[in-house]
Amino acid sequence: MTHDAGSALARIAESEAGPGGLNAFLSLADADDVQPRANGPLAGAPVAVKDNISTTALPTTCGSRLLDGYQAPYEATVVRKLRDAGGVVIGKTNLDEFGMGSSTENSAYGPTLNPHDRSRVPGGSSGGSAAAIAAGYTTMALGSDTGGSVRQPASFCGVVGIKPTYGRVSRYGLAAFASSLDQVGVLGRTVTDAATLLGAISGHDPHDATTADTPVPDYADDVGRGVAGMVVGVPAEYFPDALDPAIRSLLESGLERLVEAGARLEKVSLAHTSYAIPAYYLLAPAEASSNLARYDGVRFGVRQEGSDIASMYEKTRRGFGDEVKRRIMLGTYALSAGYYDEYYGTAQRARSLITQDFAEVFARVDVLFTPTAPTTAFSLGERTGDPLAMYMSDVFTVTANLAGIPGVSVPVGYVDGLPVGGQLLAPWWGESTMLAAAGAVEASSPGSLP
Amino acid sequence: MSVTRADVERIAELARLELGEQELGRLTSELNGILGHIGQLASLDLAATSDLTPQIRSPLPATRPEGAEEADVLRQSPASFAPDWREGFFVVPPPPGVHREPSE
């Protein structure tokens, strides 16, 4: 295991060179610029940063040809905070273009491979961050989670991934995808690693009006609190009959261990769960079509000259990949005159029902325990020709984004040698309770990283 | 809920996307598949449901303080990364139908 930035960079350079690499990183820090630090909660820890988070020392491509070589003129608040806490940015990690995807195959710079099985995807869109931890390159990484993009790759790679409450962490400097859903998240080798990084980057930021000005608890300290007396909800809709029996069995074992540790289980229902994917795939593309209008060759994007400005826009935007174009088209349609209420308005109302389901259930239980994803890591290319099949990878994670609640994926075991994650969901601002439960699941789960 | 190829051409125009013949055909089929799945929202009774969910359950109102309105100090001047920059302005091509003066 690599604990300092210099040796992490040496190991990455050695392992990622040539055809045997995972393609987890899009750029790496210069070893000469990396100064070890002993102060702060991160105390010199190497941290990988998803390449849709702005850094001034390294390019920020968002996995897109449109931002090839783009150097941000300012730094994201989360990067400044992690450096202030003693963390060292060792490199920028691969992702689905602008965060749009569930496999990291939509990167313009090629797919990232899963360290557990290189014929499989690492999940996405924060696949580079998850793979970097699973490969032992680092113990901590930043990601972003709009519909499950931290938790699903954490599940596929056997690491821990946290999506905080909407408003817990600043998004200043995060390339916007769907602004009512986006959150910066963290990934770690252990729950404590992830909780430590979350504590370092959380808090109010005057540059992001959606952040809350409330104290940040000591999340790392919460991890060992235990679950004695905690009520864990088990939502029926997340354990459908079609769920892989081997995944179901691992989740049920996790629930049994929570009971042994002092928790009580309660069966609950989140009745509108099946409407989450339809609502999400209207709302997220609608917001994306608006946010991505800035990639026009004037404000952002490598300009392709045209005879007039309309032609320049279109030639420049040829640089988007297929999935990004698909979502811009879907979102533009959903927002177009005559369809706004039928699509966007309906999806927002469905979102209200999903949020209300959570509010009612959290009046009775402290946390919910679910699978993170319906499958283990799938094969490279298996779903690239079927957008709907790819979207269904997020079926258990998008609900947290729609409602704005926190969620964490914790490894619970293996099926056929591939990791499986269990997801804990908590009420708004309930990270402390959620991490206590995650710590208990982790402490009782078998398994090790490759 | 479905779109025709003509709809897709019009959406692409609105989105400033230049799509080839093959892309238009593929996207028409894919969008119809996705819209078909999204169609299940129509089975919900939403008459009494607001579309104004309090998504941001922040303890404080989400307002930007006065001080945050100050411009960031950029590490580089826009002149160093703009495709074309003259006299403090980003230079862009003319609108359709307007031609630049020969001296420009």
User: Would you say residue B58 has pLDDT above 50?
Assistant: no
Interface probe with A: pick from B16, B70, B74, most Cβ of A within 10 Å: B16
Of A309, A329, A429, the CB nearest to B94: A309
As to burial, measured by CB atoms within 10 angstroms (0-12 exposed, 13-18 middle, 19+ buried), residue A14 is exposed
Question: What are the C-alpha distances in Å from A70 to residues A211, B76, B85?
Answer: 27, 12, 17
pLDDT recorded at residue B96: 85
For residues B87 and A299, the answer to whether their CB atoms sit within 8 Å is no
A·B CB contacts under 8 A: 170
Of A209, A330, A403, the CB nearest to B62: A209
CB contact under 8 A, B41 and A275: yes
Of A166, A330, A346, the CB nearest to B31: A330
A387 contacts in chain B (CB < 8 Å)? 30, 33-34
Active site residue A81: no
Q: For tokens 């079609």, what's the residue?
A: A242
Question: Can you say how many angstroms the Cα of residue A432 is from the centroid of all Cα atoms in its chain?
Answer: 19
B72-99: pLDDT as tens digits: 667 778 888 788 889 888 888 888 888 7
SS3 assignment, position A256: helix
CB contact under 8 A, B95 and A307: no
pLDDT recorded at residue B69: 59
Per annotation, catalytic residue among A50, A81, A92, A163:
A50
B 5-44 residues with CB < 8 A to A: 7-8, 11-12, 14-19, 23, 27, 30-31, 33-34, 37-42, 44
Which residues of chain A fall short of a pLDDT of 50? Answer: 1-2
Q: Which residue of A has its CA nearest to B57?
A: A428
Phi and psi for A111 in degrees, rounded to 5? -75, 155
B 60-99 residues with CB < 8 A to A: 60, 62-65, 67-68, 72-76, 78, 81, 83, 90, 92-98
CB contact B49 to A (< 8 Å): yes
pLDDT recorded at residue A2: 47
Active site residue A307: no
CB contact under 8 A, B33 and A310: no
Q: How many CA atoms lie within 13 A of A291 on its CB side?
A: 20
Query: How many other CB atoms are there within 10 angstroms of residue A323's CB atom?
Result: 20
For residues A429 and A255, the answer to whether their CB atoms sit within 8 Å is no
Interface probe with B: pick from A305, A333, A341, most Cβ of B within 10 Å: A333
Q: What pairs with residue A408 in β-bridges?
A: A162, A424
A311-338: pLDDT as tens digits: 999 999 999 999 999 999 999 999 998 8
As a whole number of Å, the CA-based R_g of chain B is 23
**Range list of H helices, A38-85:** 77-84
Closest by CA to A100, choosing from A330, A318, A258, is A330
Given phi > 0 = left and psi -120 to 50 = alpha, else beta, which region is A87?
beta
What are A353's two structure tokens? 């029902």
Interface probe with B: pick from A305, A329, A343, most Cβ of B within 10 Å: A329
Question: What are the C-alpha distances in Å from A148 to residues A124, A151, A240?
Answer: 8, 5, 19
Active site residue A352: no
- The CA distance from A392 to the nearest CA of chain B, in Å, is 11
Instruction: Measure the CA angle with vertex A60, ends A279 and A190; round to 5°.
Output: 70
In angstroms, rounded to a whole number, what is the distance separating the alpha carbons of residues A145 and A59? Answer: 21
Q: CB under 8 Å, gap of 24 or more: what pairs does A340-345 form?
A: A343/A282, A343/A286, A343/B38, A344/A282, A344/A283, A344/A286, A345/B51
- The CA distance from A213 to the nearest CA of chain B, in Å, is 7
Higher pLDDT, A232 or B100: A232
User: Would you say residue B70 has pLDDT above 70?
Assistant: no
pLDDT recorded at residue A376: 98
Question: Can you say how many angstroms the Cα of residue A167 is from the centroid of all Cα atoms in its chain?
Answer: 15
As to burial, measured by CB atoms within 10 angstroms (0-12 exposed, 13-18 middle, 19+ buried), residue A267 is exposed
User: Would you say residue B103 has pLDDT above 60?
Assistant: no
B95 contacts in chain A (CB < 8 Å)? 308-310
What are A37's two structure tokens? 């630090």
SS3 assignment, position A141: strand
In angstroms, rounded to a whole number, what is the distance separating the alpha carbons of residues A94 and B3? Answer: 34
A34-55: pLDDT as tens digits: 876 778 999 999 999 999 999 9
A165 contacts in chain B (CB < 8 Å)? 57
User: Would you say residue B71 has pLDDT above 70?
Assistant: no
Specify the amino acid at residue A112.
T
In angstroms, rounded to a whole number, what is the distance separating the alpha carbons of residues A148 and A375? Answer: 14
Query: How many other CB atoms are there within 10 angstroms of residue A243's CB atom?
Result: 15
